[in-house]
Structures are given as C-alpha cells and as structure tokens.
Amino acid sequence: MNDLKNLLDNFSFPTQVRKNISNKKCEGFVLGYIIPRGKGRWKGTESRLSSKSTQQEYTEIYRLLRELAPPDFEYTSIQVNKNVKCGKHIDRYNKKDSAIVGLGDYTDGELRIYDKKDNYEDINIKNKFHIFNGSNYHETLDWTGTRYSVVYFSLM
C-alpha cells in the first residue's frame, strides 16, 4: 500500500464532474471499464475500457491497484478519488457489491452507509477494505488531511 500511496501523493489528478456525489468538480479517475455518459462520440450505453487504463502515466497505479484488490472480489472498474467528499448518493450503474478502502494521511473520514429505513452505520475504511451494496445510500464524513478512496465495482 505504501508504494501506491507514494504514487498517488505525487500524481497530478484529473478532474471529473460527478453530479450524483457533488456539485463541484472532483479530483479522480476510473481505470477499467466505464459507461460513457458524455456528449457526442463518448455517449453510449455499452461499457468500454477507459482510455486512462492504457495511458503510460496510469499503468503503474493500475498494476498496484489490481494487486491491492481483495482476493476473489469480482470487479470491472476502479474509481480513485483524492479528497472527494461524496454527498449522500447511490451508485445506480453498479451491478454487484463494491469494495472500498481509504488511503492517505488523514483522520476521520468514515464511510456512512444507510439501510432502507434510513438508519446508518459509520465504517472506518482507512487502510482496510469494506464490502458494501452501492445501491444503498452512502456518503463520506468530514476528515482532516489528504484522503484517497479507492472503490472497486462492477458494471457487468
């Protein structure tokens, strides 16, 4: 995990617009498969391999992320976030459970997961995986420091 954290600390994160989790641009990227949701030639309903998955500056990160994945956990995609505060949302495109881990030098920043009756549980994900159903509402609690969240999920 330390090699990955060091790479992320020195990486120039692109920004994403993710309206389901935030009203502002977020630092993050997806490796693996995506469902294009933009305009023009990028729009579609069929999943495809993200262009970043094959770009040289991402190859070492992608390799380390695949090594980090929980054993026997099936996924098609990996979302990497830097200091992204996710509002209460659901992951509507995910087909199976998600696995999340928090990395970095931060305190607090738990994952809050709600059940169908709006009861919740706060999960400490720092340096440990938690498997959860992304179709239940979830959000990120406040933290101090630099926080990376890595989410493994499946579109198929």
| SS3 state of residue 48 | strand
| Proportion of the chain above pLDDT 90, given as a percent | 74
What pTM does this model have? Answer: 0.89
Please write the tens of the pLDDT for every residue from 53-112: 999 999 999 999 999 999 999 999 999 999 999 989 998 888 899 999 999 999 999 999
Burial of 111 (0-12, 13-18, 19+ CB in 10 A): buried
**Residue 15, strand partner residues:** 27
What pLDDT, on a 0 to 100 scale, did the predictor assign at position 38? 57
* Residue appearing with tokens 């979302």: 79
**Residue 44 in this model has a pLDDT that exceeds 60:** no
Round to whole Å and give the CA distance between 154 and 8. 23
Round to whole Å and give the CA distance between 83 and 32. 21
Question: What is the band of 40 on the pLDDT scale with cuts at 50, 70, 90?
Answer: very low
